[in-house]
Every structure is written in C-alpha cells, then in structure tokens.
Amino acid sequence: MTGTWRPLALAAAIIVTLAAAATAQTVIVTKTPPGTAVTVGVNATTLGNGTSGADGVAAVPLNILAEKPDKAGTAKTEMDVRVFVDVCEKARAIWLTETGWQAPAPAAGCARHELFGAFSLRSITNLVVDAPEENQSVWIRQGKAPAHWLDPNAQPEPDRGPSWPMATGLLPFGGAGVGKYGQVGAIACGVGAECNASNYRVTFRLGADFWFGRWLAVTGSYFKPYKMEAIGAGSGYTFTTTLVPNVATFGGKVGLPYGRLRMYGEGGGTYQRSNFQTVQTMSDITVTVNDQPTTFPGGTQEFNLQTSGWSWYVAGGGEIWIKKRLAIYGEVGRVGLKGDPIAGGEGSLNDRVVYMLAGFRFRLAK
C-alpha cells in the first residue's frame, strides 16, 4: 500500500460562548471499506471505537478535552494536535497527538501516514478523516460537519462567506441620522408673525443592549436630537425660540435572527429634561406728541421653561454582523417628549421626535 500526504485542512476560528456544558468532539472516518474497524486514540491512549457502515463512514464520539485535564487538573478548553492515520487491511486507526507525545507504533501490516499541519480542537470540533488506502486527508469544523464532507454525492452548501454565531451579551452601539420634531416648531412660531422653524435636525443615539440570547434583550440609551430653532419677526420685534432636549430611553427588544442578520423591534419608556427658551428683541419706538418726537428704547426679554418628565418610545430596525465583533444597523422610531415645569408654574411640554438613523454595534466578549 502506498500513502500520499495531502495537506488539506479547513479550520474555522469560531469560539461559541454558552452557559451550558461543553459538548463532546466527534471524529468521523470516511472512505473506508464497509465493516472496517475504526479506533481513535489521543496521545498514547485509545479512547473510542467504531465500525464503518455500508457507506464507509464511522463516527466515534469522544470527550477529549474533559479526559485530558491540564496541569491544574481542570478540563482543557482547547488543544492543538497532529493527526496520524494507520491504514490496515481491515482496520483504520486515527491518532491525535499533542506536542511532546508520540503515538504507539502501528500494528503489524499497517502503514502510518501523517497529515501535515496542526489542528485546533475545541468543545464543538468535528474532525472528518478521509481514510482510503491512498490520499488520506482531514477536514476540521468547529461545529456540525457539512453533508458533502461525508457523502461525495451530496450538494455542497452555498458559500455565504464567513459565518459566526449571532452576537449576545453586552453590545454597545452608536448611531446618527435625522429626526423630525412634531408640533413644537409651529407652536413656537405662533400666529401673526413671519417665522421659520427648523424641525428636521441631526439626531444621535448612544447606548447598549444586553442580549440574554438571540431573541430577547434589554436596552438603554442616550437620545439626542439637535435643538429645534424657530426664528421669526413681527411688527417692531424679532424672536428666536429653541428647544434643547436630553432624553434617556429604557426598554426591551425582541429579535428575529437569520444567519448574520437580526431584525428587531423595541419599546419602552423615556425620561427627558429640556429647556424651552424664547429671546425676544423689541425695536426702538418713536412717538410724536405735540410735534415733539419721543423715542422709547427697545429691549430684550428672555423666557425659559425647563421641564422634565416621562413618556414612551417605539422603534424597529435590523443589524448585520459584518465581522465577528462589528455590525452595522439601521433603525426608525418615535420618541415621546413630555414634561412639566421643574420649578413649578405654568407651561408644559408635549411633543415627539420621529427619527431615522444608522450606526454600529460592537461585541465586547470573545
């Protein structure tokens, strides 16, 4: 028998963080004669046995990491191994050896072949070893092995580019876009004056989500639309009115993940503190009495209404993870602005901001 080394290794650097215990690894041996006895060993110890079926495939589940504790006596989370295939007339032996270890000598009549390279084993690793008499190879997957690795007649899955688990845990985000105030601009302009109100303003949102899983999260943010400004003039006066809000949002999210895309809806409460200010400038007035003109100087008046209060918001959008730790997202929503005077007195605020923005989310955990 002649063995050919074929360095074929597909390694996906994927780490999945789960609250559940680590699952066992699996070594799947393919392209053997039906009924071939298969053994799998690590370093110098045989840990599993199997027999190939009519399709020439044998699967040997192992718990390699739990059975190979580190120096402190705890289960390892990862190990790097070399792969050896012993090809015998009616058997195959797969040996996985760490640095400093050497597999036992092959049985009489068996030929040993080393598959070039070092391979990383984690809690979810599946190794697929092609073990015909010639041209042995190994495929590695951090997760379920694709069907076409096991059956040459199976259709390969379409290439969707890099893939990784949907991000969970703490995900900070930041975005910017445009927001539109409701009626506050029209109220600020009033009637009987030439007035222009800037209701469409640059809007920012900074915050963080905490996803308990792929489907459910809590969220909080600082929401900041740029100040609304109304500038107007009437007979003998000009005025400028501004509204400067600062808004905190607290709510929940429900997600619908698909691959690297997650659509979501969210809603909850808002707390705002704002300052509604009007600065009015009166022109000088000249009055003629008995042919004697008298000029009354103008002046400036300033009115401030500071409010605070609670309301509600609702939003929806989608995010796509372009890298393992980076996503882009887009979102639309409605944020209520309600408040009563902080210092007491007359006046109140009851408005809203409808917004559309885009930004980035970040994954902190590995």
Q: Which two tokens stand for residue 50?
A: 């199997």
DSSP for residue 31? S
Question: How far is the C-alpha of 300 from the C-alpha of 118, rounded, in Å?
Answer: 79
115 and 237 inside one domain: no
Q: What is the CATH number of the domain that holds 195?
A: 2.40.160.20
β 261-282/299-323 pair status:
antiparallel
Distances (CA, A) of 134 to 2, 14, 38, 96: 6, 31, 17, 19
pLDDT band with cut points at 50, 70 and 90 for residue 73: low
Burial profile 150-185: b = 16 or more Cβ within 10 angstroms, e = fewer: beeeeeeeeeeeeebbbbbeebebbbebebbbbebb
261 and 190 inside one domain: yes
- Going by C-alpha positions, the residue among 328, 332, 311 that lies closest to residue 174 is 328
What pLDDT, on a 0 to 100 scale, did the predictor assign at position 66?
59
Handedness of CA 144, 150, 154, 155 (dihedral sign): positive
Domain boundary among 95, 120, 150: 150
On the question of pLDDT at 317 being above 70, the answer is yes
On the question of pLDDT at 2 being above 60, the answer is no
Q: Are 89 and 109 in contact (CB under 8 A)?
A: yes
Question: How far is the C-alpha of 1 from the C-alpha of 87, rounded, in Å?
Answer: 9
213 and 252 inside one domain: yes
On the question of pLDDT at 158 being above 70, the answer is no
The residue-averaged pLDDT of 103-125 equals: 85
pLDDT band with cut points at 50, 70 and 90 for residue 13: very low
Residue 295 lies in a domain: no
Amino acid letter, 71 = K
Please tell me the least confidently modeled range out of 229-243, 276-290, 299-313. 276-290
What pLDDT, on a 0 to 100 scale, did the predictor assign at position 18?
29
On the question of pLDDT at 264 being above 80, the answer is yes
91 and 238 inside one domain: no
Q: Which two tokens stand for residue 160?
A: 């969707």
Which residues have C-beta within 8 Å of that of residue 351, sequence separation ≥ 6?
181, 182, 183, 184, 243, 336, 337, 338
- Which structural domain, as residue segments, surrounds residue 188? 169-274+306-362
On the question of pLDDT at 9 being above 60, the answer is no
What pLDDT, on a 0 to 100 scale, did the predictor assign at position 176?
96
213 and 119 inside one domain: no
Residue 296 lies in a domain: no
The residue-averaged pLDDT of 24-32 equals: 82
Run of H or E including 65: helix 64-67
Please tell me the least confidently modeled range out of 190-194, 321-325, 342-346. 190-194
What pLDDT, on a 0 to 100 scale, did the predictor assign at position 284?
67
Residue 135 lies in a domain: yes
Taking CB atoms within 8 Å and a gap of at least 24, the contacts of 335-338 are 335/179, 335/223, 335/247, 335/249, 335/270, 335/311, 336/270, 336/311, 336/312, 337/184, 337/245, 337/247, 337/270, 337/272, 337/274, 337/311, 338/272, 338/309, 338/310, 338/311
pLDDT band with cut points at 50, 70 and 90 for residue 211: very high
The whole-angstrom distance between residue 262's C-alpha and the CA centroid of its chain comes to 8
The residue-averaged pLDDT of 315-324 equals: 93
pLDDT band with cut points at 50, 70 and 90 for residue 325: confident
Total domains in the chain come to: 2
The model's pTM: 0.54
Domain boundary among 90, 120, 150: 150
On the question of pLDDT at 6 being above 50, the answer is no
Q: Are 259 and 163 in contact (CB under 8 A)?
A: yes
Question: How far is the C-alpha of 94 from the C-alpha of 31, rounded, in Å?
Answer: 14
Average pLDDT over all residues of the chain: 82
Residue 247 lies in a domain: yes
Question: How far is the C-alpha of 276 from the C-alpha of 123, rounded, in Å?
Answer: 58
Please tell me the least confidently modeled range out of 157-161, 192-196, 276-280, 349-353. 157-161
The residue-averaged pLDDT of 223-243 equals: 89
Question: How far is the C-alpha of 333 from the C-alpha of 133, rounded, in Å?
Answer: 63
74 and 194 inside one domain: no
What pLDDT, on a 0 to 100 scale, did the predictor assign at position 69?
53
pLDDT tens, residue by residue, 289-308: 777 777 667 678 888 899 99
The residue-averaged pLDDT of 268-294 equals: 82
DSSP for residue 9? -
The residue-averaged pLDDT of 152-167 equals: 62
% of the chain surpassing 90 pLDDT: 39
111 and 210 inside one domain: no
Domain boundary among 86, 116, 150: 150
State whether residue 148 is helix, strand or coil: helix
pLDDT band with cut points at 50, 70 and 90 for residue 4: very low
Residue 252 lies in a domain: yes
53 and 102 inside one domain: yes
On the question of pLDDT at 246 being above 90, the answer is yes
What pLDDT, on a 0 to 100 scale, did the predictor assign at position 8?
30
129 and 64 inside one domain: yes
Please work out, in degrees rounded to the nearest 5, the angle formed at the alpha carbon of residue 250 by the alpha carbons of 355 and 313: 35
243 and 327 inside one domain: yes
Residue 110 lies in a domain: yes
343 and 239 inside one domain: yes
The whole-angstrom distance between residue 311's C-alpha and the CA centroid of its chain comes to 28
Residue 228 lies in a domain: yes
Handedness of CA 136, 137, 143, 149 (dihedral sign): negative
DSSP for residue 77? S
Residue 156 lies in a domain: no
What pLDDT, on a 0 to 100 scale, did the predictor assign at position 311?
96
47 and 189 inside one domain: no
